C-alpha cells in the first residue's frame, strides 16, 4: 500500500491517466487479443469486433491503473517507475482507484452487453488475476509471482476468440499457453538487468532471491515448453504452413537467444547484454507469431 498521503490532491491531466493504463505494454496485449479474434474460424461483425478489442484495451488499462494504485509505494522506490503519476505526486490515489474501478466495470459490462458473456467472464478473470492474484497477493511474497500471476496477460487471445465464437477451443488454449510460458523468459530477462531496482524495493523477483545462475537456468527451462506451445498449432492442423514456418524460425531464434542467456554471462565484447537482447526480441517474437497466425488464416 502507498505511503503517499491520499489527502494531497494534485491536478492530473489526460497524459497521467493514459500513463496509468501502461499503454506500451497494452499494445501487445491488444494485438494478441485482436489476433485471437481474427484467427477464429468465423467472421465477426466489424462493430462487435471493434467493441471487443476496445473492451480488452480498457480492461487491461483498468488493471494497469489498479496495479499502480496498489503499489505506488513500490513504484516510488524504483528508478524505472518513480516518475509514474502516483509516486511523482501528480495524482491522488483516490483518482487512480476511481478511474481503475470505473474503467474495469465499464469494460466488462460493455463486453457482456455488446459482445457476449463468455468474453466478458474471461475479461473479468484476467483483470482480477492481474490485480488481486499478481499485484496484491503474489508480487511481494514469492519469486513465482510472475509464473502464476503472468496468466493474466495470457488471457487476451482467449477473450478475442471467445468474442468471435462465444466459446473456447484448442487453438486459443494453445495461444494462452504460449503467452503464459513466454512470460517467465520475457520478464526474467528484464529482471536480470534491472535486478538492483527490485532488490532496493524489496520485491522478491527471482534474480534477487535465487541469484543470476538460477534465473538464467529457469529462462532456458521455460523456453522448452514455450517452444512446443508455439509450434504445436502447425502439426496439429490448427494453423497452416505460413504460421508453421514463422513459428519454427522465430522460436529457433528465441531458443538460441535464451540458450546464450542460460549458458553464459555477458562477455566484454558483447554489443548488447544477451538478456537485454532476449527481452527486446521476446516482444517482437509475439508480434511476429500472432501476426503470422492471422496472415495464415486469411491468406
Ligand atoms: C506478470 C507478467 C509480466 C511482467 C511482470 C512484465 C513486466 C514488464 C516490465 C517490467 C516491462 C518494462 C517496461 C515497463 O516499464 O513497463 C515490460 C515491458 C513490456 N512488456 Fe511485459 N511483463 C509481463 C507480461 C507481459 C505480457 C503478458 C505482455 C503482452 C502480451 C507484455 C508486453 C510487454 C511489452 C510490449 C513491453 C515493452 C513496453 C515498452 O516498450 O516499454 N508483458 N514488461
Ligand atoms: C485483458 C487484461 C486485463 C490484461 C491485463 C494483463 C496485463 C496488462 C498483463 C501485463 C502484465 C504486466 C504489465 C506486468 C507488469 O508487471 P508489474 O506490474 O510488476 O510491472 P511494473 O513494475 O512496471 O509495475
User: How much is the pLDDT for 2?
Assistant: 45
**Residue 210's pLDDT band (boundaries 50, 70, 90)?**
very high
**Residue 8's pLDDT band (boundaries 50, 70, 90)?**
low
User: Which residue do the cell numbers 474495469 mark?
Assistant: 104
Q: Taking 60 as the threshold, does the pLDDT of residue 9 lie above it? A: no
Provide, rounded to the nearest whole percent, the portion of the chain with pLDDT above 70: 94
Residues 6+ positions from 221 with CB-CB distance below 8 Å: none
Interval between CA 297 and ligand 2 midpoint (Å): 29
Indicate the top mutation candidate among 23, 25, 80 to test ligand 1's pocket, ranked by most ligand atoms within 8 A of CB: 25
Q: Output the average pLDDT for the chain.
A: 94
**Which ligand ends up closest to the CA of 187?**
1
Query: How far out from the chain centre does Cα 263 lie?
Result: 26
Q: Taking 90 as the threshold, does the pLDDT of residue 190 lie above it? A: yes
Q: Is the pTM of this model over 0.80?
A: yes
Q: Taking 70 as the threshold, does the pLDDT of residue 267 lie above it? A: no
Interval between CA 103 and ligand 2 midpoint (Å): 16
Q: Where are the alpha helices (DSSP H) in the chain?
A: 14-20, 23-38, 46-70, 72-77, 93-110, 117-128, 145-149, 156-165, 170-193, 195-201, 206-209, 212-231, 241-263, 274-298
- Is ligand 2 within 6 A of the CB of residue 156? yes
Residues 6+ positions from 14 with CB-CB distance below 8 Å: none
Ligand 1 atom closest to the CA of 27, numbered from 1: 35
User: How much is the pLDDT for 195?
Assistant: 85
Query: What single-letter DSSP state applies at residue 248?
Result: H
Q: What is the mean pLDDT of residues 74-95?
A: 94
Measured at the CA of 74, the angle between CA 70 and CA 79, to 5 degrees, comes to 135
C-alpha radius of gyration, the chain, whole number: 19
**Residue 13's pLDDT band (boundaries 50, 70, 90)?**
confident
Q: Taking 80 as the threshold, does the pLDDT of residue 5 lie above it? A: no
Q: Taking 90 as the threshold, does the pLDDT of residue 3 lie above it? A: no
Indicate the top mutation candidate among 20, 23, 24, 29 to test ligand 2's pocket, ranked by most ligand atoms within 8 A of CB: 29
Provide, rounded to the nearest whole percent, the portion of the chain with pLDDT above 90: 89
User: How much is the pLDDT for 1?
Assistant: 46
Q: Taking 90 as the threshold, does the pLDDT of residue 20 lie above it? A: yes
Q: Whose CA is nearest to atom 18 of ligand 2?
A: 67
- Is ligand 1 within 6 A of the CB of residue 42? no
- Is ligand 2 within 6 A of the CB of residue 58? no
Ligand 1 atom closest to the CA of 145, numbered from 1: 1
Flag the least confident range among 132-146, 158-172, 253-267, 281-295. 253-267
Amino acid at each position: 500500500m502507498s505511503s503517499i498521503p491520499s489527502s494531497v490532491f494534485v491536478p492530473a491531466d489526460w497524459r497521467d491517466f493514459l500513463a496509468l493504463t501502461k499503454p506500451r505494454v497494452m499494445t501487445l496485449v491488444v494485438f494478441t487479443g485482436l489476433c485471437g479474434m481474427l484467427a477464429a474460424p468465423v467472421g465477426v461483425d466489424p462493430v462487435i469486433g471493434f467493441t471487443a478489442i476496445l473492451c480488452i484495451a480498457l480492461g487491461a488499462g483498468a488493471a494497469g491503473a489498479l496495479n499502480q494504485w496498489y503499489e505506488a509505494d513500490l513504484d516510488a522506490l524504483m528508478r524505472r517507475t518513480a516518475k509514474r503519476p502516483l509516486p511523482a505526486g501528480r495524482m491522488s490515489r483516490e483518482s487512480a482507484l476511481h478511474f481503475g474501478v470505473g474503467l474495469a466495470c465499464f469494460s466488462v459490462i460493455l463486453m457482456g452487453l455488446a459482445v457476449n458473456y463468455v468474453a466478458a467472464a474471461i475479461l473479468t478473470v484476467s483483470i482480477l488475476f492481474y490485480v488481486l492474484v499478481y499485484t496484491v497477493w503474489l508480487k511481494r511474497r514469492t519469486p513465482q509471482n510472475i509464473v502464476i500471476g503472468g496468466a493474466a496477460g495470457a488471457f487476451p487471445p482467449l477473450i478475442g476468440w471467445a468474442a468471435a465464437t462465444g466459446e473456447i477451443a484448442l487453438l486459443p488454449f494453445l495461444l494462452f499457453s504460449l503467452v503464459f510460458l513466454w512470460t517467465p523468459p520475457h520478464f526474467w530477462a528484464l529482471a536480470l538487468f534491472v535486478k538492483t531496482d527490485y532488490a532496493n524495493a524489496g520485491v522478491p523477483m527471482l534474480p534477487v532471491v535465487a541469484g543470476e545462475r538460477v534465473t538464467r537456468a529457469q529462462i532456458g527451462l521455460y523456453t522448452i515448453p514455450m517452444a512446443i506451445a508455439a509450434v504445436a498449432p502447425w502439426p496439429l492442423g490448427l494453423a497452416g504452413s505460413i504460421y508453421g514456418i514463422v513459428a519454427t524460425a522465430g522460436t529457433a531464434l528465441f531458443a538460441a537467444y535464451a540458450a546464450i542467456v542460460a549458458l553464459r554471462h555477458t562477455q566484454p565484447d558483447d554489443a548488447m547484454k544477451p538478456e537485454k537482447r532476449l527481452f527486446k526480441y521476446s516482444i517482437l517474437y509475439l508480434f511476429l507469431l500472432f501476426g503470422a497466425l492471422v496472415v495464415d488464416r486469411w491468406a
